[in-house]
Amino acid sequence: MRAHIEELINQALGYLKRDGQLPRELDSEVQIDRPRDPEHGDYACNIALLLARPAKMKPRAIAELIVSKLPASKRVAEVTVAGPGFLNFVASEHHLRSVVREVLASDARFGHLPPGSQPDILAEYVSANPTGPLHVGHGRGAAYGASLSAILKAAGHRVHREYYVNDHGRQMDILAVSVWLRYLELCGEAVPFPDNGYRGEYIYDIARSVRNRHGDDLRHPARTIGADLPADEKDGGDKEIYIDALIATARRMLGESGYEACFQAALEAMLADIREDLEEFGAVFDRWFSERELDLNGALERAIERLEAGGWLYTENGARWFRSSELGDDKDRVVVRENGRTTYFASDIAYLLDKLERCPGTLIYIFGADHHGYVPRLKAAARGLGEDPDRLEFQLVQFAILYREGKQISMSTRSGQFTTLRRLREEVGNDAARYFYIMRSHEQHLDFDLDLATSHANENPVFYVQYAHARIFSIFRQLEGRGMKHNSAIGDAALKHLAEKQERKLMQAMGRWPEIIESSARRRSPHDIAHYVHELAGLFHTYYNATPILVENDDLRNARLNLIVAVRSVLAAGLGILGVNAPEQM
């Protein structure tokens, strides 16, 4: 419809230019708005105001000219000039009825663009280190990434979703050692737990599984382990130095296979946990990309060679540095350490190169807001690789803070004192969690009100929307109870009987759905969907209360049933994108 009106205006402008009533060289980018005030019609265009200056004419005069040349359209009932020179369009009844027809014809696919009609997108999200369970901060990234992917798909992009698994670095070693120490504890060896270790309860679970599998094979006397270790922080030492020494000791005492046993057990357990957690949450991925793979398949080496070939590397203090400061970063970065090991950033570059080669379109990085410092360096990396940095896009998801009874719930990861995503899901349910995470703009801090999310009362927006959906099913159950059937052919022929104000509003709102999908995808803002769905549900509730659906008159009844089937379909599609169930009954 928008495109249609745009076309009408462009035609009118064409006539006016041809006839010399407007300057021929006038550059006109027509944009169609949705006016806030219903008094201003269904669509509005400000083109006359934009052209006033370059054409050196009064905006209203231009508007009048355009109206006079506007081709007639079955879909437009009325065009008026209003205010300073806006063109207001009122959609025709014919157009509104066609919305209902379109929805019924295409059902869940209404408003969707054909797959592949838009550029490919590779979206990476969550990518939390597998060193512990996901917490509520990850949950927001998961909800955002999953919903955004769904919207992009609906808007015609081919979307590939990835989770980057950091299974390579020092944090993983710390995890492995934490597991080993808990294992020793289970064996009855009292080794003091490092200040820098992972303390969560889940470490014991992994340790138990290691013990079940390996018995006492990995057991070493506590005394020998502590023998040549420096002081930990609690003893006045440095916790970083201490943990590194402990890792070295573990590697030496356990040997390659023993150490791997702890490492793999930890990695696999964590990954399985995260996977299951996300899957239950409706966040799915097309690929879990292992950082280790980059090393094994030579991608890491290739990326570094690529930077080398571009002349972007130099040696200082025995390390290889990337001259990123010349490519927009605020400082140069080490890619190969003095000890010969590559840095985490080197892996990032290799992964970036791999993604760029696999996806011809845009790479979307969905990061927690605390990672915003990575943006300039990754862009620099793209430039250094000789690629277009504009193919990288960054969406920063701000923090979510949990509130219970008006009080903030604090959290810290290392101590194990954090709220897990799993616990949140258990407490409020997947539906409420998904909806609450997404109902605010992702670039906005989120106050997550646990009491509101668990509320089954009217103030809970998730239930409000779900209830609208369930109510429609309820009407059909009622219909059946009265021994009647919905005849959609009769309904279709009788759509002209839908003359109530609320009926018009519902059709008008559904007509916006394709635009919502488009703009929500373009703006990368799934919360638009949440708002829309809430609004549509509200319109339906009002309608439901004001107008009986199951009336005696066959034509009217079937027409109304057609209308609400369409509403149900759009509600279900919207909820589907948000990852929220659309229940038939509540």
Per CB under 7 A, contacts with RNA among 284-313 are none
Q: At 186, list the tokens.
A: 């289970």
Judged by beta carbon, residue 84 or residue 226, the one nearer RNA is 84
Q: Which stretch binds RNA (CB under 7 A): 112-120, 301-309, 490-498, 543-551?
A: 543-551
Give residue 363's identity as a one-letter amino acid code.
Answer: L
Q: Per-residue string for binding with RNA, 358-387, x by CB under 7 A? A: -----------xxxxxx-------------
| 548 scored as a contact of RNA (CB under 7 A) | yes
Q: Which is nearer to RNA, 39 or 188 (CB)?
A: 39
Out of 33, 78, 276, 388, the only residue in the binding site for RNA (CB under 7 A) is 33
Q: Considering the rule CB under 7 A, would residue 407 count as an interface residue with RNA? A: no
Q: Write the single-letter amino acid at 132.
A: G
- If one asks whether residue 470 binds RNA (CB under 7 A), the answer comes out as yes
- CA-angle at 363, arms to 361 and 365, nearest 5°: 165
Q: Is 434 exposed, middle or buried (0-12, 13-18, 19+ CB in 10 A)?
A: buried
Binders of RNA among residues 481 to 540 (CB under 7 A) are: 515, 519, 523, 525, 527-528, 531, 534, 538
Closer CB to RNA, residue 220 or residue 348? Answer: 348
If DSSP codes are grouped into helix, strand and coil, which group holds residue 334? strand
Indicate which single residue of 92, 325, 430, 547 sits in contact with RNA (rule: CB under 7 A): 547
**Residue 444 contacts RNA per CB under 7 A:** yes
Could you tell me the CA-to-CA distances from 573 to 106, 529, 559, 570, 576 in Å, in that order? Answer: 11, 10, 21, 5, 5
Enter the tokens of residue 4: 């249609």
Instruction: Output the smallest distance, CB 375 to RNA, in A.
Output: 8
Distance (Å, whole) CA 557 – CA 310: 71
Q: Binding of RNA at residue 163 (CB under 7 A)?
A: no
* Residue span 238-257 as binding mask against RNA, x where in contact by CB under 7 A, dash where not: --x-----------------
CA dist list (Å): 431 to 441, 538, 575: 18, 19, 9
Chosen residue from 13, 86, 206, 356 binding RNA by CB under 7 A? 86
**For residues 236 and 446, what is the distance between their CA atoms, to the nearest angstrom?**
39
Q: How far, CA to CA in Å, does 178 sit from each of 44, 58, 211, 236? A: 63, 75, 14, 21
- Footprint (CB under 7 A) of RNA, residues 255-274: none
212 is an interface residue for RNA by CB under 7 A: no
Nearer to RNA by Cβ, of 383 and 471: the residue is 471
Residues in contact with RNA, shown as a per-residue x/- string from 133 to 162 under the rule CB under 7 A: ------------------------------
Q: Enumerate the H helices of 404-526 as residue ranges.
A: 421-428, 430-438, 450-454, 461-481, 488-493, 501-522
Least Å distance, CB 143 to RNA, is 14
Residue 475 binds to RNA (criterion: CB under 7 A): yes
Residue type, 351: Y
The residues in 95-134 that bind RNA, with binding defined as CB under 7 A, are 129, 131
Collect all residues with Cβ–Cβ distance below 8 Å to 444 and sequence separation of at least 6: 398
Closer to RNA by CB, 257 or 339: give it. Answer: 339
